[in-house]
Structure 1
Amino acid sequence: MSSDQSSNQKKTNQFTIIKDDPNDGHEGYGIGSISLENMSSVIIDPNEDQAFVDMEAMHARSAVERRVKFQSDRDAVPNGLVYWVVWVTVEKGENGPYFAGVGGSELVVDRSIKRAYKSMPEHVKHMEDSLKGKIRVEHMDEHSKKLLKDFLANFEGGDMWKNSTDELKNALPN
């Protein structure tokens, strides 16, 4: 995506922070369901050196995922560009909101042939890990991890980053 296209898009750099329990005071239907209200999706584009929140990734409709047909075989997209959808869960702690869980999932996109690759089981697993407060970024390349770290550390003044665990801070390069 060119910088002109990205500047014309509405920027929604906003993390969702956990809300009240939707089942509070109610029994029966919905009990035991998973709430995604405190999860956001951050797109890491190492090709353009950018990171941005794109909530449409929650429904596989992010700017990167549009207008391509997904393949289950990575070899079907040999000349594709690598992107990451990073599932970020935000919780409230003693000092305020913080990044509690982070899981990076790979996307490979070749716009010239309108094909892309992603592993749905991997995306689901990384979303689940993020919701459980786990940090899963060890499989990401160093440049992408640096972009993610810079984005999180500078997000809205950096308070959420400061409140985050040492595990997250140590998983992402300085």
Structure 2
Amino acid sequence: METGKKQISLNIVSNKVNHRGFGAGSIDLSNLSSIIIDGDEAYIDIGALHAKSKVERRIKFSMDKNDVPNGRQVWVVWVAVDRDERGAFYGGVTACEMLIDSEARRGWKILADHVNQMDRALKRKYILDGLGAKERQLLKKVLIEHNAEWWERSPQELKDMLASDPT
């Protein structure tokens, strides 16, 4: 591993105290991270929180799939880390689809869906609709490799979803 290169990691619940002043009720993203699944590769990319992941940069997005006829399927997986008396665990995991045509610098995504799925992850939901067996295995591998203890403490519901073939 290169020294000096910052390692990207999943955020964990912060020690911030909630306040009731300006901004109260806004979404706290301090315990949310994102994983990109692109073909045979899955990796943590927190840039997706602001639509600036590696695959989204320099891409002009449309809400019409027909604008991206040669797009490849890419998934953004929102991962919320929660904590209980046993410690941290993967508390919410949801997936959103995008199409990316890097050559044409065009993409398709429904921003409202990405925001809604982000919110569902923060609300401790597990929604992996659309992910195939390969994508589920890649996601499981990243979650375990990132922190096996978090994986072990995660609910059986998530483990079952990532162990099964959805078809």
The TM-score normalised by the length of structure 1 is 0.86
**1:97 positional shift:** 0.6
State yes or no: 1:168 paired with 2:154.
no
Give the gaps of 5 or more residues in structure 2. none
Helix, strand or coil for the counterpart of 2:163?
A: coil
Helix, strand or coil for the counterpart of 1:170?
A: helix
**Root mean square deviation, CA, Å:** 1.7
The aligned counterpart of 1:80 is 71
Choose from 97, 108, 115 the match for 2:88: 97
CA separation of 1:19/1:78 partners in 2, compared to 1, >3 Å: closer, same or farther? same
**1:11 positional shift:** 5.9
Q: Percent identity?
A: 40
Per-residue CA deviation, residues 104-134 of structure 1 (Å, 9 max, x unaligned), is 1111101121100011111011101100000
Aligned residue pairs, count: 161
Q: Which moved more, 1:124-133 or 1:14-23?
A: 14-23
Matches within 5 A, 1:23-172: 23=18, 26-46=19-39, 49-156=40-147, 158-172=148-162
d(CA) in 2 for partners of 1:137, 1:56: 20
Choose from 15, 19, 26 the match for 1:20: 15
d(CA) in 2 for partners of 1:163, 1:42: 19
Helix, strand or coil for the counterpart of 1:19?
A: coil
CA separation of 1:109/1:11 partners in 2, compared to 1, >3 Å: closer, same or farther? farther
Per-residue CA deviation, residues 1-38 of structure 1 (Å, 9 max, x unaligned), is xxxxxx9xx56431111112443xx4432322220100
Give the gaps of 5 or more residues in structure 1. 1-6
